[in-house]
């Protein structure tokens, strides 16, 4: 697989505004983004990259609904079906009493699944080795990584990067798994 992947062309930036502008410029130039890296959530950067809205909302919605259904069906089974006991003279199916637990289970299952969904969508998990394109990308550096595919134009790219105050511009080989620094000290 690795040999089929194109090389990456990296630009390292110090300011979020420069990164944002450079990203926009790269997109206008029609380059394919491998990814952009930022130490914090820069508003608009994802849209500048042309990323769609995250689908994780669906995970939350469906799992939350599932939680609610589990709650109401489970409680109905337990209270009204399996053993309808006379508790305080109340009916075997006291719906108002079920509302709190329905809500809590909606939130609980929805929330937990959102977390798992996030990990799955981000493809992160405990023990995963972080691949950093700059040692300080989690501190104060921004990195734009452009795939050097057929749409790529190196000179144009260099120009864009330079125009937007890139601190460093470099190319990493197709086997970039080994080329990039792994998580560690700066």
Partner 1 sequence: MEIRTNDAELNDMPPELRREVELVSKGRRDFMKVTGMAAMGAVIAGCTANTREVKPLLNKVEGVTPGVSYYYASTCQGCSANCGTLMKVRDGRPIKLEGNESPMGGGLCGVGQAQLWTLYNPDRLHHPVNKAGEKVEWSALDAAAKSAVGAGAVLLTGTINGACGREIIERFKAKGGRHVAYDAVSCYAIAKAHGETHGKAVIPRYRFNEATVVVSFGADFLGTWLSPVEHARDWATQRDLKFGRKAMSRLLVLEARMSLTGANADERFRIKDSERGAVLLELANRLGGDFGAPGKHSVDAAALDKIAAELKAAGRRGLVVSGSRDTREQKLVNFINHKLGAYGTTLDATTPSQQKLGNDDELAKLLKDMEAGTVKTLIVWGVNPVYDLPDGAKFKELLGKVANTIAIGPRADETASECAWIAAEDDPLESWNDFEPVKGFHSLAQPGVRRLWDTRNGFTSLLKWLGDPDGNKEYRDVLKTAWEAGVLRGQAWGSAVETGYVNRIAGTTQPAFRDAAMGDVKEAGNVADTGALEVVVYESYNLRDGRHAVNGWLHEMADPMSRVTWTNMAFMSPTTMEAQGVVEGDVVEISADIEGRKATCKVPVMRQPGQAEGTVAISTGYGRTKAGPIVHGRGKEEDAVDPDLLADGVYAIGGNAFPLLGGKPVAGSLSKTGRRIKLAKISEHDSQEGRPILKQTSLEQWLKDPTSGNQDEIPPVDVTLWPRWEYKGHKWGMTIDLNACIGCNACQVACSIENNVPVVGKDEVWYRREMHWIRIDTYYEDNDGSKFDGDLTKDANPEVGFQPMMCQHCENAPCETVCPVIATSHTDEGLNAQAYNRCIGTRYCANNCPYKVRRFNWFRYEHHNLTMNLVLNPDIVVRSRGVMEKCSMCAQRIYDGKRAAALAGTDVKDGSIQPACAQSCPTNAIIFGDRNDKESKVARLEQDPRNYAVLAEINTRPTVTYLTKVRNRPPKESELVLERGHGHGHEAEAH
Partner 2 sequence: MGHVYSALRKPLVHGDKTLHDVTQDVCSSIEGKPSQLWWLGFFGSGAVMLMFVALVAYELYEGIGVWGLNKTVGWGFDITNFVFWVGIGHAGTLISAVLFLFRQKWRTSINRSAEAMTLFAVVCAGLFPLIHMGRLWIGFLWVAPYPNLRGPLWVNFRSPLLWDVFAISTYLTISAVFWYIGLIPDLATVRDRAKHWGRKLFYGVLSQGWNGSVRNWNHYETAYMIFAGLATPLVFSVHTIVSFDFATSVIPGWHTTIFPPYFVAGAIFSGFGMVLTLLLIARKSMRLENYITLDHLENMGKVIILTGSLVGLAYGTEFFIAWYSGSMYEGFAFINRATGPFAWSYWIMVSCNVLSPQVLWFKKLRRSPMVLFIMSIFVNIGMWFERFVIIVTSLHRDYLPSSWSYYHPTWIEVATLIGSFGLFFWLFFIFVRVMPAIAFGEVKGVMDMGKSHGDHKAHGANPEVSHG
Partner 3 sequence: MNAKLAVLFFLLTIGMAMPILLGFREVADVQLPNLHTNYQPTQPIPYSHRLHAGVLNIDCQYCHTGADEGRHAAIPSLDTCWNCHKTVKGRTASAKESIALLEKAYNNGMGEGVAWKRVHNNADFVYFNHQTHVRIAQFIDADGNVTDGIDCAQCHGDMTKEGVARQKEQLTMGFCINCHRDQNQRHEAAKLPARAPVNACDACHR
- Site for partner 1, rule CB under 8 A: 85-91, 94, 96
Binding-site partner at residue 113 among partner 3, partner 2, partner 1, none, CB < 5 to 8 Å by type:
none
Q: Which member of 1, 129, 150, 178 binds partner 2 (CB under 8 A)?
A: 129
Give dist(CA 51, CA 115) in Å, integer: 21
Does the footprint of partner 3 cover residue 85 (CB under 8 A)?
Answer: yes
Give dist(CA 126, CA 128) in Å, integer: 6
81 or 155: CB nearest partner 2: 81
Burial 93-125 (b: 16+ CB within 10 A, else e): eeeeebeeebeebbebbbeebbeebeeeeeeee
Does the footprint of partner 2 cover residue 162 (CB under 8 A)?
Answer: no
Residues 126-165 close enough to bind partner 3 by CB under 8 A = 126-128
Helix (H/G/I), strand (E/B), else coil: 74: helix
Total of residues contacting partner 2 (CB under 8 A): 77
Residue among 17, 54, 53 nearest 38 (CA): 17
128 or 170: CB nearest partner 3: 128
Binding-site partner at residue 171 among partner 3, partner 2, partner 1, none, CB < 5 to 8 Å by type:
none
Does the footprint of partner 3 cover residue 4 (CB under 8 A)?
Answer: no
Give dist(CA 78, CA 76) in Å, integer: 5
DSSP annotation of 169 reads E
Give dist(CA 168, CA 111) in Å, integer: 41
Q: Which member of 30, 119, 151, 177 binds partner 2 (CB under 8 A)?
A: 119
Residues 9-48 close enough to bind partner 2 by CB under 8 A = 15, 17-18, 20, 35-48
Length of the chain: 186
Binding-site partner at residue 89 among partner 1, partner 3, partner 2, none, CB < 5 to 8 Å by type:
partner 1
């Amino acid at each position: 697989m690795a040999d089929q992947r194109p090389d990456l062309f990296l630009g390292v930036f110090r300011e979020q505004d420069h990164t944002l502008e450079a990203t926009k410029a790269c997109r206008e130039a029609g380059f394919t983004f491998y990814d952009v890296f930022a130490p914090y959530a820069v508003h608009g950067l994802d849209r500048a990259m042309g990323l769609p809205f995250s689908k994780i909302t669906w995970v939350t919605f469906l799992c939350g609904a599932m939680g609610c259904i589990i709650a109401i069906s489970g409680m109905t089974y337990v209270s009204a079906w399996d053993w309808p006991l006379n508790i305080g003279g109340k009916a075997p199916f006291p719906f108002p009493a079920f509302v709190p637990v329905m809500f809590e289970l909606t939130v609980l299952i929805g929330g937990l699944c959102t977390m798992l969904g996030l990990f799955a969508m981000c493809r992160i998990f405990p023990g995963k080795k972080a691949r950093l394109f700059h040692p300080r990308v989690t501190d104060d550096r921004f990195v734009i990584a452009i795939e050097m595919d057929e749409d790529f134009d190196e000179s144009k790219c260099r120009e864009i990067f330079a125009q937007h105050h890139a601190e460093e511009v470099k190319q990493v080989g197709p086997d970039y798994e080994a080329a990039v620094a792994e998580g560690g000290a700066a």
